[in-house]
Amino acid sequence: MFKRSLIALAGLLFVLTSAQAVEAKKEKALDKNAYIAEWQTIYGGEEDDIAYGIVALEKGDAAIVGTCKSFGAKRTDICVTRMTSKGEMKWRLWLGGKKKDEGKAISRAADGSILVLGHSNSFSSNYDYDLHIAKISLEGKLLWEKDIGGERDEFAGGIAGTDDGGALVVGSTESYGEGDKNVYIAKLDKNGKLLSAHTVGGEKDDVAKALTRTRDGNFVLAGYREIERAGDADFFVMKMDQNGKQIWAETYGGEYEDMLNGVTATVDGGIVAIGSTRSYGSEQSDLTVMKYDAKGKLIWHKIYGFKYYDYGNAVATTRDGGFILAGGTNSLGKGNHSMYILALDRDGALVWSHVYGDERKDVAHGAARMSDGSIVVVGESNSFKRAKNFYMIRLVKRK
């Protein structure tokens, strides 16, 4: 593992200020010094290693899940790493078999251990992808792992711990339901036994990409639905109880493709979801972020972007009730894609933005607030080595 001094550029963004996101205007001048990168680091081997999710542990530590080809991986394996507050590795663990295994989401169980979700075709008799779920101790010991799915492909979305020590899992399935893809929701007990599973969707694609636990102990998934025609996706959020039963669901979007990739709970009981849009006057795709209250009412919707491709993959809350958004852009920065990080206040007003990376591809896939209040963003970079590596940035708010 090594650290480098990387390039950070600030940008002035466009924002949609109404809940209906009808017209754009420029934000007020940003505070270029609101956040600083306390450290930046890459981690990986000679093959591609990509971080997709992160969850906070105690004493500023974090657990990261990704997809790795290095360090003895058989093809691609699900890799789980525990990292200190200084960006140093404590331990790493591989999950998977001889074929393709990809890690996508991570969270905590009720007993404090680590829950991991990915998809795998190592253990399927039909060579299709199944969901792969694992529980890991804080010392890096595998406690159990489970594959669930049908005769066709299932893809990982999000995972969260339930009060009984089990887990709620969301993703998409081609095995069940009437559409090409359907939202797949599964409940597991504390030992990994599948208790229930069902689908949500219509005749076209319906996909869950992320899951969060809300302040009232329920859950909200975020993704997209194709309602009118294939390829014309709309934002989709759905609130569920501890067993995955629907409480409310909302579909929202414009004329073109609108997708949500990440979601987090807010202190007032609502959620903030992040993704990308090609609607609302976007020239290619723009980063989009929206807040819903606890009853599913849209409170605000903001869009940030420039001429080319700008997108959001993850969102985390800050201690003061604001939000850190993380994704990628090829409108700004030196490289093919740069890691794109923005800060909003609790009302959705833009406070700060930077791009990080160098001359090749640098993208954020996950973000989380640590126990000390810092924000750690994780993703991928091949700007500093030939292969893609974990790219991790620790942000702190300037006093």
Q: Kindly list the structural domains of the chain, giving each domain's residue range(s) and its CATH number in brackets, ordered by start.
A: 7-397 (2.120.10.30)
Pair of tokens at residue 310: 């700008």
- Say whether 59 sits in a helix, a strand or coil: helix
Token output for 33: 């010094």
Distant-in-sequence, close-in-space partners of 349: CB < 8 Å, separation ≥ 6: 27, 28
Q: DSSP letters of 128-183?
A: --EEEEEEE-TTS-EEEEEEE--SS-EEEEEEEE-TTS-EEEEEEESSSSSSSBEE
Question: Three-class SS of residue 58?
Answer: helix
For the entire predicted model, the pTM comes to: 0.91
Phi–psi pair at 377, nearest 5 degrees: -110, 135
Sign of CA dihedral 390, 388, 52, 191: negative
Cα distance between residue 6 and residue 380, in whole Å:
14
Using DSSP, state whether 60 is helix, strand or coil.
helix
pLDDT in 10s for each residue of the chain, 399 residues:
323 223 233 333 333 333 333 333 334 457 877 999 999 999 988 888 999 999 999 999 999 999 999 988 888 999 999 999 999 999 999 999 989 999 999 999 999 999 999 999 988 878 899 999 999 999 999 999 999 999 999 999 999 999 999 999 999 999 999 888 999 999 999 999 999 999 999 889 999 999 999 999 999 999 999 987 666 899 999 999 999 999 999 999 988 899 999 999 999 999 999 999 999 988 889 999 999 999 999 999 999 988 888 999 999 999 999 999 999 999 887 878 889 999 999 999 999 999 998 888 899 999 999 999 999 999 999 888 888 989 999 999 987
Q: Which helix (H) or strand (E) holds 378?
A: strand 375-381
CB 283 within 8 A of CB 242: no
**Residue 29: per-residue pLDDT:** 56
Closest by CA to 316, choosing from 262, 381, 245, 380, is: 262
Torsion of CA 147, 150, 155, 156, to 10 degrees: -40
Q: Which two tokens stand for residue 385?
A: 């080595």
Per-residue HEC secondary structure of 314-338 comes to EEEECCCCCEEEEEEECCCCCCCEE
Q: Residue 360, Cβ neighbours under 10 Å: how many?
A: 17
DSSP letter at 348?
S
CA distance 210 to 155: 11
Q: What are 102's two structure tokens? A: 């990809």
Cα distance between residue 36 and residue 332, in whole Å: 19
Structure tokens at 125: 């008799």
